[in-house]
Amino acid sequence: MRDGIHPTYYHDAKVTCACGTTFETGSTRQTLRVDVCSQCHPFYTGQQRIIDTGGQVERFLRRQRRVDGTTPEQTADTAEK
Protein backbone atom coordinates (compact mmCIF):
# COMPACT_ATOMS: atom_id res chain seq x y z
CA MET A 1 0.00 0.00 0.00
CA ARG A 2 1.12 3.54 -0.61
CA ASP A 3 1.96 5.69 2.39
CA GLY A 4 0.18 8.96 3.09
CA ILE A 5 -3.01 8.43 1.05
CA HIS A 6 -5.24 6.78 3.64
CA PRO A 7 -7.18 8.72 6.29
CA THR A 8 -6.47 8.15 9.97
CA TYR A 9 -8.68 5.42 11.43
CA TYR A 10 -9.95 5.95 14.98
CA HIS A 11 -10.88 2.74 16.80
CA ASP A 12 -12.65 4.68 19.57
CA ALA A 13 -14.78 7.16 17.60
CA LYS A 14 -17.63 8.58 19.71
CA VAL A 15 -21.13 8.46 18.16
CA THR A 16 -23.85 10.71 19.62
CA CYS A 17 -27.50 10.24 18.62
CA ALA A 18 -30.22 12.91 18.70
CA CYS A 19 -32.00 10.85 21.38
CA GLY A 20 -28.98 11.20 23.68
CA THR A 21 -27.49 7.74 23.30
CA THR A 22 -23.72 7.59 22.92
CA PHE A 23 -21.49 4.67 21.96
CA GLU A 24 -18.08 4.01 20.47
CA THR A 25 -17.24 2.52 17.09
CA GLY A 26 -14.48 2.63 14.51
CA SER A 27 -14.45 5.46 11.97
CA THR A 28 -12.24 7.86 10.06
CA ARG A 29 -13.80 10.70 12.11
CA GLN A 30 -13.32 11.10 15.87
CA THR A 31 -16.89 12.23 16.60
CA LEU A 32 -20.10 11.48 14.72
CA ARG A 33 -23.59 12.93 15.23
CA VAL A 34 -26.52 10.87 13.95
CA ASP A 35 -30.31 11.42 13.86
CA VAL A 36 -31.35 7.85 14.65
CA CYS A 37 -29.66 4.86 16.26
CA SER A 38 -30.67 1.34 17.29
CA GLN A 39 -32.14 2.72 20.54
CA CYS A 40 -34.64 5.04 18.81
CA HIS A 41 -35.08 3.64 15.27
CA PRO A 42 -38.65 2.36 14.68
CA PHE A 43 -37.41 -0.93 13.22
CA TYR A 44 -35.64 -1.85 16.46
CA THR A 45 -38.08 -0.29 18.96
CA GLY A 46 -41.33 -1.38 17.33
CA GLN A 47 -42.73 2.16 17.72
CA GLN A 48 -43.37 4.61 14.94
CA ARG A 49 -42.10 8.14 15.51
CA ILE A 50 -42.18 10.99 13.04
CA ILE A 51 -38.88 12.82 12.88
CA ASP A 52 -39.83 16.29 11.74
CA THR A 53 -36.91 17.94 9.99
CA GLY A 54 -37.59 21.51 9.03
CA GLY A 55 -41.33 21.46 9.77
CA GLN A 56 -42.19 19.26 6.79
CA VAL A 57 -44.81 17.28 8.71
CA GLU A 58 -46.54 20.45 9.95
CA ARG A 59 -46.58 21.90 6.41
CA PHE A 60 -48.11 18.68 5.12
CA LEU A 61 -50.79 18.71 7.82
CA ARG A 62 -51.61 22.36 7.03
CA ARG A 63 -52.05 21.49 3.36
CA GLN A 64 -54.25 18.52 4.28
CA ARG A 65 -56.47 20.74 6.44
CA ARG A 66 -56.86 23.22 3.57
CA VAL A 67 -57.88 20.43 1.18
CA ASP A 68 -60.26 18.83 3.72
CA GLY A 69 -61.67 22.20 4.79
CA THR A 70 -61.14 21.44 8.49
CA THR A 71 -59.78 23.75 11.15
CA PRO A 72 -56.94 22.77 13.49
CA GLU A 73 -59.46 22.42 16.35
CA GLN A 74 -61.58 19.98 14.34
CA THR A 75 -58.51 17.96 13.49
CA ALA A 76 -57.48 17.80 17.17
CA ASP A 77 -61.01 16.75 18.19
CA THR A 78 -61.10 13.88 15.73
CA ALA A 79 -57.59 12.77 16.75
CA GLU A 80 -58.70 12.45 20.41
CA LYS A 81 -61.66 10.19 19.53
Q: Are 55 and 38 in contact (CB under 8 A)?
A: no
Of the candidates 30, 28, 32, 31, the residue with the CA atom closest to the CA atom of residue 5? 28
pLDDT surpassing 90 at residue 46: no
Least confident of 22-26, 38-42, 74-78: 74-78
Q: What whole-number distance in Å separates Cα of residue 57 and Cα of residue 36?
A: 17
Confidence of residue 67 (pLDDT cuts 50, 70, 90): confident
The better pLDDT of the pair 18, 44 is held by 18
The CATH label, of 3.30.420.40, 2.130.10.10, 4.10.80.400, 3.30.360.10, for the domain at 10-67 is 4.10.80.400
The better pLDDT of the pair 12, 54 is held by 12
Q: Are 14 and 30 in contact (CB under 8 A)?
A: yes
Q: Would you report the helix, strand and coil content of the chain in percent, each value rounded to 5?
A: 30, 20, 45
Residue 19 CB: number of other CB atoms within 10 A? Answer: 13
